[in-house]
Structure 1
Amino acid sequence: MVAPITTAASMCAFHNVVLATQNYGIKKGIKQGLGVKRGSCGGLQMKANAQNHNGDDKISKVVSKSSIRQNFTIRSYEVDANGIASIETLMNYFQSSIIDHCNTLGIHVDAAGSSKEMIKRNLVWVYSEMQVWIYRYPKWDDVVEVETWLSSEGKNAARFNWIVRDFKTNQMLNRASSVCVLMNKLTRRLSKIPVEVRREFESYLKNSRIIIEGDDKKIPKLDDTSADYICLDLKPRWSDIDINFHVNNAKYVSWILESIPESILMNYELSSLTLKFKRECKRDSKLQSLAEVCSDNNNNNNNNNVEYNHMLRSEDGVEILRGRTEWRLKPTNNFDIFNHDPEASIKDL
């Protein structure tokens, strides 16, 4: 009962992320340091980047009936100013791998990841929430192996799971998980999973331990008085829109990062990300990105990490997304300094 493609606020798209021109508003009393435009270069890689170093140009290894591994080479236009893969790039790899996964299983029919029974009913998968943990970022020209599998999540949802490893060393670099639900493309309303759709997917669902436990910590709703930083006049560009005229989910990450102070972007790196999608974002949407500092290295934080709450809203105040980001100081040697298990695999979950 799964095959991904969208966020509850957007359908996933096969487009590069392009940032619009912004005007920034900063709350009084907060140190200046936001009003610098930050470009991002995360692009979706399909067949050209899904390189298999064992001959197959798409799928590197079918681990089991429900688990597939796929290789990607980090390109120069997919890295940020630090020379490491951007978070948008990783988000796009997740999307690409799950689509190819479903295609390999024989249940993926169209570019939106819909099965035959879903197409009959005008249904698409949308993300309702997503979590990403990042232990180490791959660098330019690194080859990463993305393992994907599907699992059940209650009666009317599904979970997509990912582990990203260094292809050469097999070290775990990232892990991510998302909860997806069905939405009717015509009514724009969420739908229960029909029995016919469930039958298409149920034999491929892996009954395994959840790779990332749900984030039960409440993310507060922000407003002009509670937000420490506000980024104004965000608007999707044509290249952010997919075939269903919705915004690529990686774009949401770009938007919430626009409200992070430049001093944090220069000295810290993103270590975890939680997103909870509330509404769709369409071509004519005009958005604002709000951020609240909920912990920093000057506020009872012994590990020097920084944490922010986020909210995207439309200009008329309609809430689009809530999120939380955690940041750690950039290491001088970004290799093998985090406590991750190089042998971790789906078989261990």
Structure 2
Amino acid sequence: MSSGGRVSIMLLSSGQQQLLGRLPQPRAAVGAAAPNARRRCRGAARFGAAAQPPAIARAAAPAAAASPSATAAAAAVAADRPTSPPTCELSGVLHTPHPSKFVDNNTSFVEEFRIRGNECGPDQRANIITIANLLQEVGGNHGVALWGRADSGFASMPGMDHLIFVATRIQIRMESYPKWGDLVRLETYFAEDGRLTTRRDWHITDARTGGYLGAATSTWVTINAETRKLAKLPEEVRARWLHLAPTPPRLVLPAPDTRRKLQEFPAAPALEGPVVSARRSDVDPNGHINNVCYLSWALEAVPEAVYGSHHLREVEMDFKAECHAGDTVQVLGHPLPQPPPASGGRQQQQFLHLLRKPQAEGGTEVWRARTTWVPKA
């Protein structure tokens, strides 16, 4: 996907500039108190040296004179000790994310994020949960930059009148996962998708090199926030919304790939994860369980032999029903026939996933998904 010519945020109206200023500032580098500022980190302990602060050294001094052997040992240690603490230029290790901005005549929104250590697995790479959270964050910030922060829920267009957007389908395809400390650039924008649904796409790249990492697309409908029933977006609101979308539409994934239906789930699934109780901390601003939680729960049914040796290349998710704090959810999975090899001849494995409420509570299907896995390099 090409982002085309970029337009600086300074070309926005003063009102849009004020709204953009409401966004949280990007996570800055440790040493980036000012643009291009360099802060040297000094400290022998950080780099394995054994230097002690003077006060500690004095406290450790023996009351009596040291023996000749102890003196010789101390001299040998001193000879190996650096004469001055090592220095590292943090500005050469950590790079500051650029401020959020609009591009392409203000129809596309760009934001950069640094991958944190607690967002990575044992291989020091981000996982699909990290990516899904970033997609949600930049999508929400896009709305805040356009319309300001709402009193409840996520940012909402003027004139929505108790209507909120909820996702019915999300598809994420990753070619490579960023590493701890990498800067990731996410670009997002709207697109029309029929009369009752709308679409949001994301393009994910390495912010420093421009290398392609992945893409995602999603389908949304509007519901009444009070009745939780499906509602049509008013035509005047829809017209204003479409005015914010790129023309012609830019699709990050081929249209046929986004129309593939998920298989029916078998009556006797081969895989079963733990029964999950939805927590209060899982509830998002729209008042229901955050959609990233569903994906996190479903991955618990993937066999360890696959989870530990493969990357999740693609996930296609259909949201069937809402889930709320205190609900109990069964986590089920089932292997699918092996699909054709991925790029480079890599063999793929696929699984079908289902989240449902227990039969005693009606057995309602909450979420269904298909995951595609490729071996780690």
Which residue number corresponds to residue 41 of structure 2?
none
Distance 1:295 1:99 in 2: 37
Q: Would you say 1:255 and 2:301 are equivalent positions?
A: no
Q: Could you tell me how far 1:222 is from its partner in structure 2?
A: 2.1
Task: Check 1:247–1:58 CA distance in 2 against 1; reply closer, same or farther (3 A cut).
Answer: farther
Shift of 1:288: 1.0
Q: Does 1:310 align with 2:353?
A: yes
Q: Does 1:160 align with 2:203?
A: no
Q: Structure 2: which amino acid aligns with 1:187?
A: T
Q: 1:56 to 1:219 in 2, by over 3 A?
A: closer
1:229 CA drift (Å):
0.1
Q: Which runs of no fewer than 5 residues in structure 2 stay unpaired?
A: 1-22, 36-95
TM-score, structure 2 as length reference: 0.69
**Equivalent residue of 2:308, what SS?**
helix
Check the 8 A contact 2:143/2:156 in 1, yes or no. no
| Change in CA separation of 1:197 and 1:109 when aligned onto 2, cut-off 3 Å | farther
What is the root-mean-square deviation of aligned Cα atoms in Å?
2.5
Counterpart of 2:128? 87
CA displacement, residues 10-47 of structure 1 (integer Å, 9 cap, x when unaligned): xxxxxxxxxxxxxxxxxxxxxxxxxxxxxxxxxxxx83
Q: Which residue of 1 aligns with 2:53?
A: none
Deviation at residue 114 of structure 1 after TM alignment: 1.6
Give deviations 1:111-169, integer Å, cap 9, x for gaps.
51222211x2x111100101111010001000011011111111121111101110111
1:323 is matched with: 369
Distance apart, 1:308 and its partner CA: 0.7
Q: Does 1:240 align with 2:240?
A: no
Q: Which has the higher helix share?
A: 2
Match of 1:130 among 160, 170, 193: 170
Paired position in structure 1 for 2:143: 102
Query: What secondary structure, in the 3-state scheme, does the structure 1 residue paired with 2:195 have?
Result: coil
Partner SS, residue 258 of structure 1: helix
Measure, in 1, the Cα distance between the counterparts of 2:197 and 2:149.
17
Counterpart CA distance in 2 for 1:171 and 1:177 is 19
- The TM-score, its normalising length taken from structure 1, stands at 0.74
How many residues of Structure 1 are paired with residues of Structure 2 in the alignment?
282
Deviation readout 1:268-324 (Å, 9 max, x if unpaired): 010001001110011121111111111349x99974210111111111221111110
| Corresponding position: 1:187 with 2:227 | yes
Aligned partners of 1:70 and 1:123: how far apart in 2? Answer: 26
Distance 1:66 1:108 in 2: 19
User: 1:229 maps to which residue?
Assistant: 271
* 2:245 corresponding residue in structure 1: 205
Greater RCO (Cα-Cα under 8 Å, separation 6 or more): 1
Identical aligned pairs, as a percentage?
28
Task: Flag structure 1 segments of 5+ consecutive residues without an equivalent.
Answer: 1-45, 332-349
Aligned to 1:218: 261
Larger Rg: 2
Query: Secondary structure in 1 aligned to 2:350?
Result: strand
